[in-house]
Amino acid sequence: MVFNSFAFLIFYPIVLLLYFVLPQKWRWLMLLVASYYFYLSWNASLIFLIVFTTVVSWVSSLLIERGHGKHPDKPNGPLEKLWLVLTLVASLGVLFFFKYFNFLSKSVNDVINLFTVTPGDPLILDLILPVGISFYTFQTLSYVIDVYRGTVKTEKHFGYYALYVSFFPQLVAGPIERPENLIPQLHAEHRPDWNNTVGGLRKMMIGFFKKVAVADLLAPYVNAVYNDAENATGFGVLLATVMFAFQIYCDFAGYTDIAIGCSEIMGIRLMQNFDRPYISETIAEFWRRWHISLSSWFRDYIYFPLGGSRCSTFRHMLNICIVFLVSGLWHGAAWTFVIWGLLHGLYQVIGYFTLPLRNRLWDRLKIGSGSIFVKILRKVNTFLLVCFGWIFFRANSFTDLMLLMKKLFTDWRFDRSYFGDTLDTMGLSAVGIVTSLLAIFVMQRLDVSKLKIKDPDAPVLLDRKGRPLPPEGAAWLSGSRYVYVIWAIVLAWLLLLVGDGASSFIYFQF
């Protein structure tokens, strides 16, 4: 079951109705059953994996906290460390086996074949990658680690903890929620609220628009190049890569907008996961705006424990590269993802060492480093660097990657037939170009409009005439923003109802 399917359009209203009709003491059970049903709709045979991870992490957390009570002066003794290690081994072991076993087996076999006369074949298992395994594994790990650190108290009610792990809006593609944010909200009693309802529906509609009207619109043009690298041209690779930048953003951010909206209607606030990443001036800023829940997870559980920036310059740069290496592996079991992760680490290392040189350059040119010109230049440069990295991310194989890179830098001709033939090969007509640009423009306006929405829990603000500004339930209908919102809602629902409405989200494979 995906968000953009008829099944979900039936499933979610039923869950929402039961959530507000049932007494508070039974809501957790209904949500847990609904969440497991949501996951079972993908592959019922793999439900044992999420159950296993949930049970192991919950029992370990109880044992760790019990140890804290026995010796509060030294909360983490050998036994507590043992429970933590066992949890890490069990959870990461399941993740490794299903996601990385075949990749490691093939890589090791390739190395061995370099030194043998008779090449052998790798051991390849017929494994199905469980949907969302990277997301819920990291969510359980953050819980156990936080309990071990003493920053979070264990959830004594197994049902609520199981719901924290499997909460259906963010189960398969995040955001990766922290226990201190989500678990208390699952315990709290929520009643129907107009602001939550309209605000949540608005976020869902924006998410549907991003997915259906932008990501799915651009996907065929991107696939025409990346799935046929042999016949690609330099212009085709460039154009398809820029399109993929918006496709993957709208696909992933669209999912999280829908997830956040679904939860908000129920009164549950999930963390922000995207903040207009393509306006970033540096790669570091890009990662503060892109997949925020994952970036902050790596920061808190890998980067800081490694020493962060409170160490020598060499170690600091090494820590950054290690984090991005792990990030690449998290995204996929292929060398293309590994290179993509290391590339982003290298971007930051180069940026760190060249910053003084760049500042001196602006001083010599008598251009302020904070001027609009420099800011625009930085944004364009960051966007181009990110797009270059997306080639590694999107390439179907290392062989395709090398071919695409060769085409990008060598296969160019500056004549009308060259560009026309490339567009024809991609299936991109004049109407397609205009529609794509319009969809991207509307998406950008919708993202900007979200920044102007007032938090319903914040104090009431007044306009220049002393009148209260509209709350979230009505603010999006005021001013010029309603044009984009209404257009987005109508187009998203039309495409959802007329089309097949069941294209999967890109990040489900991670």
DSSP 353-379: HHHHHHHHHHHHTT--TTSHHHHHHHH
pLDDT at 197 over 70: yes
Angle at 334 between CA 220 and CA 297, to 5 degrees: 95
User: pLDDT for 219-259, tens place per residue?
Assistant: 999 999 999 999 999 999 999 999 999 999 999 999 999 99
Nearest-Å Rg of the Cα atoms of the chain is 24
Same-domain check for residues 356 and 476: yes
Q: What is the phi/psi pair of residue 276, to 5°?
A: 45, 65
Q: Are residue 254 and residue 355 in the same domain, yes or no?
A: yes
* Whether 331 is catalytic: yes
* CA 129-130-134 angle, 5° bins: 95
In a shared domain, residues 170 and 106: yes
Residue 3 within any structural domain of the chain: no
Q: Convert the pLDDT of each residue in 373-425 to its tens digit.
A: 889 999 999 999 999 999 999 999 999 999 999 999 998 988 888 999 999 99
* Summary mean pLDDT of the chain: 85
State the pLDDT confidence band at 199, using cuts at 50, 70 and 90: confident
Residues 111 and 145 in one domain: yes
Cβ 502 vs Cβ 226: under 8 Å: no
Which of 24-33, 451-460, 462-471 has maximum average pLDDT?
A: 24-33
Q: Lowest-pLDDT range, 44-48, 273-277, 458-462?
A: 458-462
- Flag whether pLDDT at 463 surpasses 60: no
366 pLDDT above the threshold of 80: yes
Q: Residue 479 above 60 pLDDT?
A: no
pLDDT above 90 as % of the chain: 52
pTM: 0.87
Tell me the two tokens of residue 428: 């991109």
Instruction: Determine the pLDDT at residue 1.
Output: 73
Domain of 90 in residue numbering reads as 18-189
Residue 462 resides in a domain: no
Cβ pair 442, 489 in contact under 8 A: no
Element housing 424 (H / E)? helix 416-426
* Residue 174: pLDDT band with limits 50, 70, 90: confident
Q: Most distant CA pair in the chain: distance in Å? A: 85
Choosing from 157, 190, 316, 331, the catalytic residue is 331
Q: Does the pLDDT of residue 453 top 60, yes or no?
A: no
Classify residue 460: in a domain, yes or no.
Answer: no
C-alpha to C-alpha distances, 185 to 206, 270, 351, 435, nearest whole angstrom: 24, 10, 40, 41
Residue-wise pLDDT for 96-117, tens only, equals 988 888 888 888 888 888 888 7
In angstroms, the first-to-last Cα distance of the chain is 17
Within 10 A of 221 (CB to CB), how many other CB atoms are there? Answer: 23
| Statement to judge: residues 77 and 112 lie in one domain | yes
* pLDDT band for position 497 (cuts 50, 70, 90): very low
CB 301 within 8 A of CB 142: yes
Cα(276)–Cα(444) distance, integer angstroms = 8
Inside any domain, residue 166: yes
- 2, part of any domain: no
| Residue at 380 is within a domain | yes
Of 189, 218, 237, which residue sits at a domain end?
189
Confidence of residue 489 (pLDDT cuts 50, 70, 90): low
Tell which residue, 430, 432, 389, 397, has the closest CA to residue 218.
432
User: Which amino acid is present at 19?
Assistant: Y
pLDDT tens string 114-164: 888 777 788 888 888 888 888 899 999 999 999 999 888 999 999 999 999
Of 161, 189, 217, which residue is a domain's last?
189
- Pairwise pLDDT comparison (445 vs 327), residue with the higher score: 327
Same domain assignment for residues 32 and 136: yes
| Residues 349 and 369 grouped into a single domain | yes
Q: Are residues 149 and 278 in the same domain?
A: no
Please, which pLDDT band fits residue 309 given cuts at 50, 70 and 90?
Answer: confident
What does the pLDDT read at residue 502?
Answer: 52
Domain count, the chain: 2
> Residue 13 falls within a domain, yes or no?
no
